[in-house]
Structure 1
Amino acid sequence: MLSQLFSGIAVLSLIVLLLILLLRRLKQPYFIAYIAAGVLLGPQVFNIIHKPDVISELGEIGIIIMMFSIGSEIDLQYLTRNFYKPLLISVVQVVLSFICMYFVGSYAGWEITTIVLTAFTISISSSAIVFQYLARTGQIKSQLGMITCGVLLMQDILVIPMMLALNFMSGAAVSAVQLIKVCAGGVLMILFLKGALTKKLFKIPMRKEIAADHELQVFIGFSICFTMAWISGWFGLSTAFGAFASGILIGHDKATRWLGSSLIPFRVFFMAFFFLAVGLQLDINFFIQNKGTVILISFSVLFINSLINTILFKLTKNSWRDSLYAGALLSQIGEFSFILMTMAASLKLVENYTYQITLAVITSTMMLTAIWLMIIQRLIFRLK
């Protein structure tokens, strides 16, 4: 008798493959197939996957490996010289998002906690989706790609104070020890990176021997990536930030750049689980009952985020073409917004309706990113 796990993997692989072949023909990104597979395999359709929490945890591994791979491709010198641009764009974006949501919330009668949470949620873009687009188009090492990657990294860092703010609004006590750990962790990570890159504090022994051994490459890569991610998480920082920092260390040394490429198959595999988890969390019945509201809010979010980011990129001396494209790239709501919304629900800051509508909007903006980018690219072509 076949085990449930074996049957689930077989059906999952077949459905994902069929959806990928369809999207390949339509020239659409594959993450849409993963989300759609999550919806189909979830409890409300075929009911094949019964443990979405396990899938979600596997998806977090995909985020960590992806950030490690991106870090290995980043030109740190350029990012350091232009550090103020991503920081300025990220911070001002949060402020402008709050202003927009304040006017919307005041008109709709929202509480201040809902306004703040909504502003936090829409101001975080999807690193997984944006990095896929930049890598696929070969723009990840371009000036636009570097600034966009910097913005995504700053957003990931800003998630930490956002979480602390949610704890404060719920009345939960944030201990002084926790605050000290976060601040100390951030400072230590920056000092370690600076020392490792300028004074060569970090070196892998037997690099010539390891370069010829693929199995060693994989496990050395995993060790460096997940150790840095664990250290970062222990300090209260984002695990993705630690993985990104470890990727920078690897990418800075030409002799060890093979580590990033060695983990590509694992990144693809585990990233698929992240998007599967997104599809699994979507309540189909709720979506159908509120489809008009969800679609309207989703396109409003895409438009608002595109507008805000386009203006900010233009103000930081990018061309109109690059600014419009970057605005469209960063228009969707990201994976860390799921974490913020789940945390807000556990702290009882939002009702079930707000929680479900937000999850539906986050998923919809991810699914609509390809269409929105196509619209903006045609606009750019006409302007040109």
Structure 2
Amino acid sequence: MHLILAEVAGGLSVLNGLVIMVLLNLLLVLFLRRLNQSYSIAYILCGILVGPHGLKVLTNADLIRELGELGVILLMFFIGTEIRLPIERRQVGLPLFGMVTQLLLCGVAVAVVGNVLNWTVSVKWLMTFILSLSSSAIIYPYLTQHNEQTTALGQLTTGILLMQDVAAIPMLVTLRLLGQDQLAWPELASIGLGVGLTAVLIREISRRPQLKLPAADLIRNDHDLQVFVGMLLCFGMAWITNWLGLSTALGAFMAGIIINRSGSTRWLERSLLPFRVFFLALFFVAVGLQINLAFLRENGWLIGLLVLIILLVNSLLNMLVFRALGVSWRDSVYAGALLSQLGEFSIVLGLTAYQLGLIDNYLYHITLSVVALSMLLTTVWIEIIRGFLFRTRTASPERGQSTEMHERENSG
């Protein structure tokens, strides 16, 4: 009897936490929407408020960890469903050059700082990866909100974000290799097989204009089966890549890409849309749940300084990248601000490195706090740069499109 009561009480505790979490999410989203802020910011704030270091609504450490791992898998899956792998080389050239240049510049900056701070080679690789990735979840909605997604600058920016998302695959594999001090031959062969299969799969997906899922016609009008097909692909491929010694996030990401390129994309995306909204929110809530407010207070000056440095340095590096791509100075400064923050893949890489033992608990929480705070402040930072750049600009035919870019498109 006591056991039954305990289970009921535990269930009610989780239910109470979910109700409060959803209510807070709703209130924060409504508030931040009036301020034209990204919903992901509301989700992170909600996680901080309901977590063990806030209102203590959700305090179960195992539950929080499992929510975070589940959120990572589903985040990668739904990002994969949005990936539009280019087929023609002309669609890849400039964004790929921009992403690689940005990665190299970040690597040089990290090498200089890492030598001063005596970082290990593994930490240098990790920090290079983390600093080179921006937030698609924040920037895509921001560009859409300001009618910039179809401009030349907006298309180039989203192209670089796409290349960053794809680059996360070899980054995860590299961390997995760095996290193994001494790999036995079976483990090395398993990882090599996983990498090879992933490369072949990406090549085949890129070469084919469309993929068709087996028995797609049989489940086209069956909503329940559509959901289970999508979830089976997501968790099934995550399990396979984990079994091969790679990351579960990698498998989920590849499953999302397959869904996107399949002939069943339209009906499957409609069926999974509610899950996408909820589980993407869950990922950011899980990030907020792991942020330790006491840790933030104790290390606030360091975290704040790091966030400021990252916003400034990333803005500068990305400005140079866009300038090298032939974009005007003013548009380059604006694009640098757009890509100045760290992104959701940075969190995934930090968590992976922590699980592999590449970084300790202190450095993990520093990384988590800096990434989350940069995401929280990114729209404020962009608006500051935007206001400075365009304060003397007269109204243009399309809001958010700089004068130089607009004139260049008209002349073309």
Are residues 174 and 314 of structure 1, via their aligned partners in 2, closer, same or farther at CA, if it must alter by over 3 Å? Answer: farther
Name the residue aligned to 1:53.
Answer: 65
Q: Which residue of 1 aligns with 2:118?
A: 110
1:155 aligned residue: 168
* Aligned residue-pair number: 375
Q: How does 1:319-338 map to 2 (within 5 A)?
A: 323-338=332-347
Other structure's SS at 1:182 match: helix
* Residue identity opposite 1:98 in structure 2: G
| 2:399 aligned residue | none
Moved more, 280-289 or 243-252: 243-252
The C-alpha deviation readout for 1:119-149, integer Å capped at 9, x for no partner, is: 3432333344345545666738945423321
Query: Are 2:312 and 1:303 equivalent residues in the alignment?
Result: yes
Structure 1 residue 286 displacement after superposition: 2.1
| TM-aligned CA distance change 1:246 to 1:282, over 3 Å | closer
1:66 to 78, 99, 114: 78
- SS at 1:27 equivalent: coil
Deviation by residue 1:306-365 (Cα, 9 ceiling, x = unmatched): 222232233244555664454333322233433444455566655554343332212211
C-alpha contact (below 8 Å) 1:59/1:273 kept by paired residues: yes
In the alignment, what sits opposite 1:121?
130
1:216-241, CA deviations, whole angstroms, 9 ceiling, x for partnerless residues? 32222223333334334433444444
Structure-1 residue corresponding to 2:223:
214
Q: Report SS of the residue matched to 2:134.
A: coil
CA shift digits 1:132-186 (9 cap, x unpaired)? 5456667389454233212222134323213423x26xxx213344444334333
Tell me which residue corresponds to 1:16: 25
Alpha-carbon distance change, 88 to 206 in structure 1, aligned in 2, over 3 angstroms: closer
The answer for the alignment partner of 2:232 in structure 1 is 223
One-letter code of the match for 1:334? Answer: G
Residue 210 of structure 2 contacts residue 261 of structure 2 at CA under 8 Å; is this kept in 1?
no
Q: Does 1:205 align with 2:215?
A: yes
How far residue 261 of structure 1 moved from its aligned partner, in angstroms, is 2.7
**Residue of structure 2 equivalent to 1:366:** 375
1:89–1:151 CA contact under 8 A, matched in 2: no
1:204 Cα deviation (Å)? 3.7
State how far apart, in whole Å, the 1-side matches of 2:163 and 2:143 are.
Answer: 13
Q: Cα 1:206–1:314, aligned 2, differ >3 Å: closer, same or farther?
A: same
Deviations, residues 243-279 of structure 1 (Å, cap 9, x unaligned): 4444444444555422123212111111111111211
SS in 1 for 2:363: helix
CA distance change for structure 1 residues 116 and 226 in 2, over 3 Å: closer, same or farther? closer
> Quick one: distance in 1 between partners of 2:361 and 2:162?
33
CA distance in 2: counterparts of 1:255 and 1:339, whole angstroms: 28
Deviates more, 1:129-138 or 1:87-96: 129-138
Q: Does 312-321 or 276-285 show the bigger shift?
A: 312-321
**Alignment match of 1:182 (pick from 191, 197, 207):** 191
Range with greater deviation from structure 2 (353-362 or 25-34): 353-362
Gaps of 5+ in 2: 1-7, 392-401, 404-412
Which of structures 1 and 2 has the bigger CA Rg?
Answer: 2
SS in 2 for 1:76: coil
Unpaired runs of at least 5, structure 1: none
Report the CA distance shift for 1:90/1:177 in structure 2 as closer, same or farther (over 3 A): farther
- Structure 1, 132-141 or 362-371: larger mean CA deviation: 132-141
Q: Percent identity?
A: 37
Give, in whole Å, the separation in 1 of the partners of 2:23 and 2:227.
27
Q: Which moved more, 1:281-290 or 1:180-189?
A: 180-189
Following the alignment from structure 1 to structure 2, what is the Cα–Cα distance between the partners of residues 135 and 199? 26
How big is the shift at 1:70? 0.7
- The answer to whether the Cα contact below 8 Å between 2:14 and 2:58 also exists between their aligned partners in 1 is no
3-state SS of 1:67 partner? helix
Mapped contact 2:307–2:370 kept (Cα < 8 A): yes
* Residue among 117, 134, 158 paired with 1:145: 158
- CA apart distance, 1:36: 0.9
Q: Cα gap change, 1:22/1:191 in structure 2, threshold over 3 Å: closer, same or farther?
A: same
- Is 322-331 or 281-290 further displaced after alignment? 322-331
CA deviation profile, 1:41-89 (whole Å, cap 9, x unmatched):
1112211112311221231243133223213xx15324x5444545444
Distance 2:349 2:296 in 1: 20
The normalised TM-score by structure 2 is 0.78
Distance 1:132 1:202 in 2: 29
* Partner in structure 1 of residue 177 of structure 2: 164
Q: Which amino acid aligns with 1:76?
A: P
Report deviation, 1:28: 0.9
With over 3 angstroms needed to count, the CA separation of the structure-2 counterparts of 1:187 and 1:132, relative to structure 1, is farther
The equivalent residue for 2:410 is none
| TM-score, normalised via structure 1 length | 0.83
